[in-house]
Structure 1
Amino acid sequence: MNARVRGIYATALTRLLLEADHAVVDASSPIRRRFDATFHTAPPDARIETTDDRQGVGVIGAPDAVAALRDLLVDVGIDALAYGDPTPVGTVLDGEVAETLGGGAVLDLAVGPGGDSSEDGAAADDGVAADAPVEGYLPYGNVDARVETGDRVRAQVRASAPPWASRRPELDAELRVGGGLVTLEPGSGTRVDVRDDEAARELAGMIDLLGIEPPEGWRAVWGPAALDVEMDDLEAGLERAVDEAERLAEAVGVDGTDDLDVDGVGLLGSPSEARTEPLARPNAGAWVWFGRESRFALDSVRREVTATMPGHHRIKAGSASASAGVDFAEALCDPAPDADFPFAAVRDSFGPAAGDRLRIEHGKPDGRLITLGEGDVTAVDDDGSLTVEREMTPGGRYDGLGTRREAGDVAVTSLKEGRWWYPTTYRDAEGTVKGTYVNVCTPVEAFPDAARYVDLHVDVIKHPDGTVERVDDEVLDASVAAGHVPEALAEKARSVASALENAL
């Protein structure tokens, strides 16, 4: 299998891929420098890219390749969690306009049963709830028609989104296929999208010798990656894109004219034309979220290749500035591999610090992310401990505790970097304790703007009268059965809950 890798996890993942006898293609310059290996520039069977928030990676490509990479990635650590992508890039599907916003429309997408992007459509272990609604965002500039609430639109996914992201997959009412070496889009002729004019002319001359033309109504757009490719790889890349375009045109019903956005996709004339599942899904997709244990495991893998400071991936995942700081530090010195994670230095340089505002980002095992609120950091210690206080809005009762939530109540959350649990104590305006709720979760990471973890369902509660109660074991069991929580991670959660139950 050929895989292309990009982002902050690239060095470690390249090492794992090579150890598994996979080929890494179109490697970046740093990867070529770090490895004593030959990297070809060839069309990948799948691509691995770091997510925009640096919390994990997305995988897209041929179904078999995506499945193999997903298995490899979740083996990185106990808290690596994988989710199927119901809207991988390239998917053509119908949607109903649910809402119109200032810059575009929100569509309820017809992703089909379970929303799985695997070849056979099985979603048993997909990690995405079968009845979870899937929305997409269609910028008005991406469709040549006025769209209103209730309209049906046929569109192609241009950019997908992980289940924990706040953004929606982006749609376009114009078809494209390929990527990397060459992309086919509506039009005619050939375009070389390279800044170097001399290199562009040389590449154009090589392309003329291929003897392969895009289907009628499509044009080939060659990217910079094509500059360093042999003729055989150029030919293979174009052949693959042409095959994909022909399959897509047949699936969507494009008649071969250059008016693709009218004949194949765009605003549908009648609701009866809408399909209940995708017309074409040329790629499979998956998302993998890395927890703290997994990031440190990737540190160990990366350290076998090049100088890697303790917490390399953990720090880089925190912010773009922190990521740049890690690169600078490692360029200046060779970090001691057995040193402790420098939490105090990271805190002092990037936060969180006392007086900051910090979100509590409560991940769910099915991939969703819920922000429990934002509070004031009242204390931070060098050992990774920090305290966050939040003023509670009145109304209702505290989950599990049953006590009333009243005006003046304060929630005091005690977090510690790397710990598998954290308590929140609720107090009234006079300071009287109304109960303590202890969340069992993947190891906490205190990033500059948010504390992040994935909730593991089972929790331990201490009521105001001192009674200790363990709750939601059945929810954890159901999550394991649904394929959201691996059994090893569930066993860890149960063990932590038992220890807390005995200690409180």
Structure 2
Amino acid sequence: MFYVSIVKFTVSGIYSSALSKLLLDRGYQPTKLSNTLVERLGGEGAGKDEPDVVIKDMSRWQGVIVIGDQAKTVADTIVQELGTVAQFYLPKMYGAVFKPSVVERIRNGVILELEDRRGLLKTRGDNVGLVQVTGYARSVSKLLVTPAVRIRFGGAEAERTGRLIEDPPLPSGWRWRRRASDEENTQVASKANDLEEMLTSPEIPDGRCVLPGKDYVELVFGLEAKELLDVWRSKITPTIHGHHYLKSLGPEYSALVYFAEAVRERIEDKLDEYLKDTVVKGVYPRSGEEVKIFHMKPDGNDVELSSGYVLHSDENTIIVKRPIKSRGEYDGIEAERRIGDYAITEFKLKEWYYVTTYFRRDGAEIGKYANVCTPPEVSKVFIRYIDLFVDVVKSHGEVKIVDREQLEEAIHKGYITQTMYKKAVDTADKLSRELKSEKE
């Protein structure tokens, strides 16, 4: 007889209600949930068993981080249900310990070689010993590491301090964070001693992983995925349309969501109308206001474009003007970039693309660059979307699709779903036809 172990998970953050219901219905077992979630799930999740998988918000609330030995399985289930999700997977990386190799010293830190990736360690010292992975920084495309290595077995846990302390049977420089049974303490002490030996061993080259960690997955939710999460949340608690979109814009919008859901039953027939009006007037940027543009790539590399000023804003379209402040060449357009040029970008809020037209200082058009992406999400201070790699360019009267090979690589590596891939291909083909039909 075969026994299938049920994967236990815990979840926190703005997506917790929706994801706990989704995963519970798909056969996963919640544990260590908040009292509010336990009540919403009818008592499920009240147990105190250690979870196999931990799910928490990303730093800008654009999605979630899934950590654990079964993280990829759980992440794949979420992606299968929601569709418009970019997935960035680092196997056995969270909590992994490395004997690092210093690549470059920067202000207040060092760049490290960690096998096939780079890590960022914030330190002012010159001596870099063992480091442990604590996360991933999308803005610089590097692993975040700490010298405060922690080893855990059962209820026992010890930490490498880098100070001259003695706490036997741990090696010099280590201290107990929590003691447990003799067996668990022995396991932790043995592993700590092994790590110290590997650090000084000439047989283990710098840059090598000396202790694997747990799987780490980032799931970035597109606008349509957030709308499906609204549906999942509504199964266990009253939920307005746009709940996850608004809350993902930042904590300052939580009060609006809370109020709308509190009065939902009294004005349900007009709530969507009131909410749309509130979003357009109070959430979207107004003409003349400055906004940032966040270009979120599925491969874990986020790019912040230069800021711009809003020329027009309504419930369907936002138009932004960005001054060009550096020299060079326009990517794809094959034209010189000059200081004094400017870009006009039109975001259509339900479309899977936006178009930027570049102009010289005197208003002469240079070319157009259509970026294929998920429908943009808009707040008072930023516009963000998931970039889908492939783009369409119009320059010197010629229209061409560019970076198609990057889209193929993204689907091959599992960064995007088949739904996103097909939408990107269809959108690029449509844009190509439309730009070719434009009159010069």
Work out whether residues 54 and 317 of structure 1, in 8 Å CA contact, stay in contact via their aligned partners in 2. yes
> Per-residue displacement from partner, 1:379-430 (whole Å, max 9, x unpaired)?
21133x1111111135232222222222321100011223200000111112
Q: Match of 1:422, SS?
A: strand
Please give the root-mean-square deviation of Cα atoms over the aligned residues, in Å.
Answer: 3.2
Q: Distance in 2 between matches of 1:176 and 1:138?
A: 21
| Alpha-carbon distance change, 170 to 186 in structure 1, aligned in 2, over 3 angstroms | closer
- Alignment equivalent of 2:132, drawn from 156, 159, 164: 156
On the 8 A contact 1:60/1:285 being kept in 2, the answer is yes
Please give the residue correspondences for 1:253-332 in structure 2 after superposition, counting only pairs within 5 Å: 253-254=193-194, 263=196, 274-332=205-263
Equivalence for 1:20: 26
SS in 2 for 1:161: strand
Q: Aligned residues, how many?
A: 416
Residue 46 (str. 1) matches residue 53 (str. 2): yes
Equivalent residue, structure 2, for 1:455: 387
The answer to whether the Cα contact below 8 Å between 1:310 and 1:340 also exists between their aligned partners in 2 is no
- The runs of 5 or more residues in structure 1 that have no matched partner are 114-132, 141-146, 188-213, 223-237, 256-262
Residue 150 of structure 2 aligns to a residue whose secondary structure is coil
Using a 3 Å threshold, how does the CA distance of structure 1 residues 246 and 314 change in structure 2: closer, same or farther?
farther
The Cα offsets for residues 298-350 of structure 1, whole Å up to 9 and x where unpaired, read as 01110111111111111111111113432233234347499479454224334
Q: What's 2:164 paired with?
A: none
Distance in 1, Cα, partners of 2:118 & 2:214: 18
User: Please, which runs of 5 or more residues in structure 2 have no aligned partner?
Assistant: 1-6, 161-166, 436-440
> Which of the numbers 141, 145, 158 marks the counterpart of 1:185?
158
The Cα shift of 1:455 comes to 1.8
Question: Which amino acid is the alignment partner of residue 185 of structure 1?
Answer: A
Is the alpha carbon distance of 1:252 and 1:138 closer, same or farther for their aligned partners in structure 2, counting shifts above 3 Å? Answer: farther
**Residue from 360, 363, 376 that aligns with 1:431:** 363
Q: Are 1:26 and 1:42, in contact at CA under 8 Å, matched by a contact in 2? A: yes
After superposing the two structures, state which structure 1 stretch, 476-485 or 159-168, moved more: 159-168
Deviation at 1:479, TM superposition (A): 2.8
1:7 is aligned, of 3, 13, 17, to 13
Cα gap change, 1:165 to 1:107, in 2 (>3 Å): closer
* 2:346 matched residue in structure 1: 414
**1:19-69 deviations in whole A, cap 9, x for unaligned?**
01211111112102212133211111111111121111111122xx21211
Structure 2 distance, partners of 1:455, 1:185, is 42
SS in 2 for 1:367: coil
SS at match of 1:43: coil
After superposition, the Cα gap between the structure-2 partners of 1:220 and 1:395, relative to the gap in structure 1 and judged at 3 Å, is: closer
Residue 292 of structure 2: which of 339, 356, 359 is its match?
359
How far apart, in 2, do the equivalents of 1:281 and 1:498 lie? Answer: 44
**Which stretch shows the higher mean deviation, 368-377 or 455-464?**
455-464
Cα shift readout 1:438-488 (whole Å, capped 9, x = no counterpart): 1111111113322111222222222354x4333332332233233333333
CA contact (8 A) 2:392 2:400 kept: yes
Alignment of 1:121-132 (within 5 A): none
Residue in 1 that maps onto 2:314: 381
CA distance in 1, matches of 2:149, 2:128: 15
- 1:499 positional shift: 1.7
Cα distance change on mapping 1:407 and 1:61 into 2, 3 Å: closer
Paired position in structure 2 for 1:171: 146
Q: TM-score, normalised by structure 1?
A: 0.74
Return the offset for 1:494.
1.0
Provide the secondary structure at the position in 2 that maps to 1:279: strand
State the match for 1:84 in structure 2.
89
Distance 1:341 1:59, change over 3 A: farther
Code of the aligned partner of 2:214:
N
Do the aligned partners of residues 487 and 161 (structure 1) sit closer, same or farther apart at CA in structure 2, a change above 3 Å counting? same
Alignment deviations for residues 258-314 of structure 1 (CA, whole Å, 9 cap, x no partner):
xxxxx479xx66887644431112422211111111111101110111111111111
Task: Name the TM-score, length of structure 2 as normaliser.
Answer: 0.84
Q: Which one of the candidate residues 69, 74, 79 is aligned to 2:79?
A: 74
Shift in alpha-carbon separation, 1:282–1:270, aligned structure 2, 3 A: closer
Aligned partner of 1:171: which letter? T
Q: 1:347 to 1:161 in 2, by over 3 A?
A: farther
Q: Please say if 1:56 is aligned against 2:58.
A: no
Q: Output the amino acid matched with 2:130.
A: R
Match of 2:412 among 476, 481, 485: 481
> 2: CA distance between counterparts of 1:87 and 1:107?
21
Q: Secondary structure at the match of 2:299?
A: coil
**Distance in 1 between the 2:310 and 2:183 partners?**
56
Structure 1: how far apart are the matches of 2:323 and 2:10? 47
8 Å CA contact retained: 1:362, 1:455: yes
Q: 1:292 touches 1:418 (CA, 8 Å); kept in 2? A: no
1:351–1:447 Cα contact (<8 Å) kept: yes
Secondary structure of 1:495's aligned partner: helix
Secondary structure of residue in 2 paired with 1:359: strand
Change (3 A) 1:101 1:428: closer
State whether residues 389 and 404 of structure 2, in contact with CA within 8 Å, keep that contact through their aligned partners in structure 1.
Answer: yes
Which structure shows the bigger proportion of residues in strand conformation?
A: 2
- Quote the offset at 1:364 in angstroms: 2.0
Identify the match of residue 390 of structure 1 among 317, 322, 327: 322
Q: Specify the code of the residue in structure 2 equivalent to 1:353.
A: R
Percent identity among equivalent residues? Answer: 28
Q: By how many angstroms is 1:165 displaced?
A: 6.9
For 2:200 and 2:352, locate their aligned partners in 1 and report how far apart those are by CA, in whole Å: 54
Residue 308 of structure 1: SS of its match in structure 2? Answer: coil
Residue of structure 2 equivalent to 1:258: none
Q: Any conservation in 1 of the 2:284–2:313 contact (CA below 8 Å)?
A: no
* 2:211 counterpart SS class: coil
Q: What is the DSSP-based 3-state SS (H/G/I as helix, E as strand, rest coil) of the residue aligned with 2:226?
A: helix
User: Against the structure 1 CA distance between its residues 336 and 71, is the aligned structure 2 distance closer, same or farther, given a 3 Å change threshold?
Assistant: farther
Q: Call closer, same or farther: CA 1:162–1:324 in 2, change over 3 Å.
A: farther
